[in-house]
Structure 1
Amino acid sequence: MGKVKILFALCMVGMILALVFARNPTVKPKKAPSFSLKLNAYFCAILCPVNRSCIDLGCSYFDPITNAGIEDVENYIKNTYKYIALGNGTAPTASSTSLDNEQTDCGLARKLGDVYDLGLGKWELNTTFTYTCDSERTVNTTASFSASSGGTMYAGGPLNAEATFSANGDQLIVRHIYNITEV
């Protein structure tokens, strides 16, 4: 479990921001910003012979993380960060802990999303929000969280275009697509 937590922390540094499609779930995403994720592994050893002092054998660096390791990181993240939030404010940054002007009423409060495995290190989190008010409201950001309120924000970003609700019953399908790769 310790390795998974370390890999998870590394993933958070360079993770691709959530890609979201506001109006039409079949629309192809624009090219995502380019982020690099580097997973490093150091293998260290100390030999302690009986009746002699321990010998530090040092550490070696080796680059590849196994496919199973990537899948473990994916499984940890996708089974922890399942809630989707909407906001109307500034897009989150790497140091953000909350979504600016997160929506909490009119059917736009955080929702538990559906998770789909898309292959090695890839998964999707999605849900549909149904607006329950009659006044106009605009959202422009989204993020994933570990809880229905509070919790830890995993990733977030701007919608490709603002989504404006104007009537009770309007719906917004939100998709977060994540991909873990070693570069």
Structure 2
Amino acid sequence: MLEVLKEWDRELFIFLNSLGIEQYDGFWLFVTQIKSWIPLFAFLVFLIFYYCRGKQGFIVFGFLLLTFSVTLFVTDFTKELVGRLRPNNVEAFAELIRALQKPTTFSFFSGHASSSFSITTFVVLVLRKHTKWIYFVYLWPLIFIMSRIYVGVHYPSDLFVGALVGTTFAVVFYRFYSHLTAYLFRRTVTDMEKGSEN
């Protein structure tokens, strides 16, 4: 069964990668680079501090960094543990795919997918009560992971699992954040009540 799934994964990758059109290569090479999204990262940080004033903003930002760091660590550890070759490094695919990039690191699972979905999901969970437009941020990780197939460096399963892992870590750390802020709020109220009694 596992081999059947792997074969489907390979066939789906080859099909999707073959849909690439040379005149659009420049666009996909641009969007697949992390540095191309720095303005978006800056905008998300701005939104955090705009909607979460004072100490809360720093707590949210700290949890965002923690979510990203843990996700990236688990991603890199898993890549080394599984040791799956990227499709661009598989000799059998040399004549079948368009590989616009040729990284030599392992493939499973995608760091682009896990990190982008962890950041996006955490920010959405924190800010969804402040602005409904925040859900549009999901366009970023979707375009980001699509580019990884286009440039020939990831299988669909790498991206699916990466997105799932990133989303899961975001939800877990958001719950930690929620419990912490609830505790701090209760303590603040208690301190205020004690102060008024004195």
TM beyond 0.5 = no
Higher helix content, 1 or 2: 2
Structure whose residues are more often strand by fraction: 1
Query: What band does the TM-score fall into relative to the shorter chain?
Result: under 0.3
